[in-house]
């Protein structure tokens, strides 16, 4: 007789997180809080874009930010200067946030009064795509210096996002980045994605992104149940 015992588990690894994320989304919907999960490679311009976006929206929406990108609080300090409510999440070197960590972060931030919470996720294009945070919508930034072939290399990220910001278009002339080719590659992966070219440096395109955010927040608050 074997001394080993087999314990049948049949547990889908992502299912637990997916369930937590769905529950968080329902809770946020009922509270009328829109959570935007912002993802990109390090240095694509998440913090710079957020600063500009908050400055344009802060008279209309009450905004909170959760900083998870790097463990130091430099980004949080930058964001705090806009007047938005901000919390630094300590991810302990984890390469993504899951729904449980996101929920804790929201509790730490205190979201009762807020209309819009933006999560600056950990800077990478792989792990955050695998873990649903419970966000209402997903946004990503691809910056011109990273190259127009990123959709071919990281398809999942482009598939799960609702809006893509192509940032740093002020330096387009210096790089051989083909915007139209990039758009075509992204739309092939995800026909429903909204693509907005921006420059967080000059502010170009930011108003269009703000309009998208306002519309989504309005829709989210409009219908109170799933």
Ligand X SMILES: Nc1nc2c(ncn2[C@@H]2O[C@H](COP(=O)(O)OP(=O)(O)O)[C@@H](O)[C@H]2O)c(=O)[nH]1
Residues that bind Mg ion (CB under 5 A): 46-47, 69, 75
- CA–CA separation, 20 and 195 (whole Å): 29
E strands in 22-111: 34-40, 63-67, 85-88
Q: Which does 40 bind (CB under 5 to 8 A by kind): ligand X, other proteins, Mg ion, none?
A: ligand X
Q: Assess contact for 19 and 101: CB atoms under 8 A.
A: no
By CB under 8 A, is residue 95 in contact with other proteins?
yes
The structure tokens 């999560």 sit at: 119
By CB under 8 A, is residue 127 in contact with other proteins?
yes
Task: Give the per-residue contact string, 4-33, with other proteins (x = CB under 8 A; - = no).
Answer: xxxxxxxxxxx-xx----------------
Q: Assess contact for 204 and 170: CB atoms under 8 A.
A: yes
Binding segment (CB under 8 A) for other proteins, from list 34-42, 122-130, 168-176, 183-191: 122-130
**80 C-beta neighbours (distance < 10 Å), count:** 16
Write out the binding residues for ligand X, residues 23-62 only, by CB under 6 A. 40, 42-48
Q: What angle do CA 67, 97, 161 make, to 5 degrees?
A: 90
SS3 for 40? strand
CB of 43 to ligand X, least distance (A): 4
Which parts of this chain interact with ligand X (CB under 6 A)? 40, 42-48, 69, 123, 167-168, 170-171, 199-201
What are the residues binding other proteins (CB under 8 A)?
A: 3-14, 16-17, 94-96, 98, 126-127, 129-131, 156
């Amino acid at each position: 007789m074997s001394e080993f015992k087999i314990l049948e588990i049949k547990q889908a690894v992502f299912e637990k997180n997916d369930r937590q994320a769905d529950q968080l989304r329902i809770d946020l919907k009922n509270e009328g809080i829109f959570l935007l999960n912002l993802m990109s490679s390090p240095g694509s311009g998440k913090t710079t874009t957020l600063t500009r976006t908050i400055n344009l929206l802060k008279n209309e929406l009450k905004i909170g930010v959760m900083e998870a990108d790097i463990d130091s609080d430099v980004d949080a300090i930058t964001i705090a200067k806009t007047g938005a409510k901000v919390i630094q999440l300590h991810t302990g070197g984890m390469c993504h946030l899951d729904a449980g960590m996101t929920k804790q972060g929201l509790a730490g931030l205190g979201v009762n009064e807020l209309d819009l919470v933006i999560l600056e996720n950990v800077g990478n294009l792989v792990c955050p795509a695998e873990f649903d945070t419970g966000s209402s919508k997903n946004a990503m930034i691809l910056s011109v210096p990273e190259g127009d072939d990123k959709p071919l290399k990281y398809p999942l990220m482009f598939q799960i996002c609702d809006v893509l910001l192509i940032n740093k278009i002020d330096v387009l002339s210096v790089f051989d980045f083909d915007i139209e080719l990039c758009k075509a590659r992204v739309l092939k992966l995800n026909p429903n994605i909204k693509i907005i070219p921006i420059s967080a440096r000059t502010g170009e395109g930011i108003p269009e992104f703000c309009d998208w955010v306002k519309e989504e927040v309005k829709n989210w608050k409009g219908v109170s149940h799933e």
